[in-house]
Amino acid sequence: MNPGAGGRRRFRYAPTPTRELHVGNGLAALVGWAAARRAGGDFILRIEDIDRTRCKPALRDAAMRELRWLGVEWDEGPDVGGPAAPYEQSQRLAQYDDALARLEAAGRSYACRCSRADVRAAMRAPHLHEGGELPYAGTCRPQAGDPGVALLPGRGGYRLDVVSLGADAIVTVRDGWLGVTTEDVRTTCGDFLLGRPGAPTYQLAAVTDDLAMGVTDVVRGRDLAGSTARQILLCRALGAEPPRHAHHPLLVDAEGQKLSKRHRALTLAGLRASGVAPERLRARLGAAIGLWRDDLAAAAPADFIDALPELDPRDAAEEAHWHDGRWVL
Strands (E), the chain: 10-13, 42-45, 109-112, 157-160, 170-175, 179-184, 193-196, 199-200, 217-221, 244-248, 251-252, 325-326
Q: Are residues 16 and 105 in the same domain?
A: no
Domain that holds residue 136: 93-202
Q: Are residues 259 and 165 in the same domain?
A: no
| Catalytic residue check, 56 | no
Which of 105, 114, 103 shows the shortest CA–CA distance to 141?
114
pLDDT of residue 150: 79
Q: Are residues 56 and 129 in the same domain?
A: no
Final residue belonging to a domain, choices 139, 168, 202? 202
| Number of domain units in the chain | 2
Q: Is residue 209 part of a domain?
A: no
Q: Are residues 115 and 69 in the same domain?
A: no
CA distance linking residue 173 with residue 185, whole number of Å: 12
pLDDT of residue 318: 46
Q: Are residues 145 and 65 in the same domain?
A: no
Helix H or strand E segment including 2: none
Q: Is residue 208 part of a domain?
A: no
Compute the C-alpha angle 177/17/127, nearest 5°: 60
Strands (E), 50-97: none
CATH number, residue 28: 3.40.50.620
Q: Is residue 189 part of a domain?
A: yes
Q: Phi-psi bin for 169: left (phi > 0), alpha (psi -120 to 50), beta?
A: alpha
Q: Give the max Cα distance, the chain.
A: 68
* pLDDT averaged per 10 residues, the chain (length 329): 71 96 95 97 98 93 98 98 98 98 95 86 60 79 78 85 94 94 94 95 98 98 95 97 95 74 75 94 92 89 92 57 55
Kindly name the residue from 258, 261, 263, 272 that is annotated as catalytic. 261
What three-state secondary structure class fits 314?
Answer: helix
Final residue belonging to a domain, choices 202, 232, 264? 202
Q: Is residue 218 part of a domain?
A: no
CATH number, residue 144: 3.90.800.10
Q: Is residue 307 part of a domain?
A: yes
Which of 48, 115, 34, 99 shows the shortest CA–CA distance to 77?
48
Instruction: Extract long-range pairs of 90-96: CB within 8 Å, 24+ residues apart.
Output: 90/47, 90/49, 90/50, 90/52, 90/55, 92/205, 92/208, 92/209, 92/212, 93/50, 93/198, 93/200, 95/208, 95/209, 95/212, 96/195, 96/200, 96/204, 96/205, 96/208
Q: Are residues 99 and 197 in the same domain?
A: yes
For residue 48, give Cα distances in angstroms to 42, 57, 138, 199: 19, 12, 29, 13
For residue 122, give Cα distances in angstroms to 18, 135, 170, 269: 32, 10, 24, 44
Q: Are residues 112 and 31 in the same domain?
A: no
CA distance linking residue 246 with residue 80, whole number of Å: 26
Which of 187, 140, 194 shows the shortest CA–CA distance to 165?
187
Cβ-based burial of 174 (10 A; exposed 0-12, middle 13-18, buried ≥19): middle
